[in-house]
Structure 1
Amino acid sequence: MAKQLDYHTIREIFTRFQAADPEPKGELEHVNAYTLVVAVALSAQATDAGVNKATRELFKIADTPEKMLALGEEGVTEHIKTIGLFRQKAKNVIKLSRILVEQYGGEVPNSRAALQSLPGVGRKTANVVLNMWWRIPAQAVDTHIFRVGNRTGICPGKDVDTVERAIEDNIPADFQQHAHHWLILHGRYHCKARKPMCGTCLIRDLCQFEDKTL
């Protein structure tokens, strides 16, 4: 685990991220808050590309909890069977849709606690929805962010909760809204798990990773 970088270094890192990609976007396809919740819940232990492939047709016919309930568990299963853990995920999608209809009038709540009460929705999923839909600077820590945070020293921590706090505590406020997207995309396409592309990395000179590749 790298040592926590200082304020000025972190500010320079995110200044470079912002210059390269001013408005980073999440890669899960969605048309409203509800389809975003479903897409993020389905993305656990699956790739965004795999989820998008499965949900394109699903969301054409079921873009509200009412329509999803009408489709039924078997109908949902048929659409998402290319995704890992699809049977359990189909059950969760139906359960959370029923709760949204019965307890929230078919609307997606915008509090972390309410979101986390939905089946298949953990803290990371809730934070993604809060950030992407309501533009609340919540930080969703996935494996990419955990790796980048610890390698670079931007937000080191022994677990995802510690890394989430390190982002909130150490990344300047003006970068908080997009912080997790910049970190995810950097980890996905540059600071890869097995073969990090250090030779073309825009923060190579600021990163504390000792095993940099050429």
Structure 2
Amino acid sequence: MTKLYTICFLLLIMAFGFLTDAAASESSFVDEIKNTNERFDTRAVPLARQVTEESVLAMEEYQGGSFRVLARKKSIERYRCSRCHTGKPVTAAQGLELTHGNIALAHGTEGPGLTCIDCHHAQERDYLEDKKGRKIDFDHSYQLCGQCHFRQKRDWLGGAHGKRVSNWAGERVVYNCTSCHNPHSPRFAKRFPATYSVPLD
């Protein structure tokens, strides 16, 4: 029994020594912070990081003046479209399925829905086309989206819809509509919330 008491006593001494060492190291860290004479210089923190992605000058302005939009063409896998859309007849069997079979068109499904030519220029495939027949560059696809989604475009111009690419200072560079929305199926898929909030009632 005495051996058991001796072992317990030794364990208590070791635990006490460990706790005092931890407290001493914590207090020494706090003392080190208190004793430092250097103040945190907020001006040393850059307010704006350099945007490394390619961007283009927007064809529109907002209340703050001109701004830039992320370029779109470099992220399109099969751009330039005119490499294949040459006006020659397609001789490959199931050519459409082979080249564009991964596109699920679920845009404007209220009523008849949209087709490819509702947005893509029928003759010049390297461009989009609005309802007035104007050619629109893929990098400025927000002009096409805004003809139907005009409220979202107004909010996007003002900064309430979408977001800036880097920080809130420096030159304004924003995401293009298609940076976040798949143009062929733009609605975000429904999902269960990441966190659950208890009902307030």
**So what's the TM-score if we normalise by structure 2?**
0.31
TM-score normalised over the length of structure 1? 0.30
Relative to its length, the structure with more strand (as a share) is 2
Higher helix share: 1
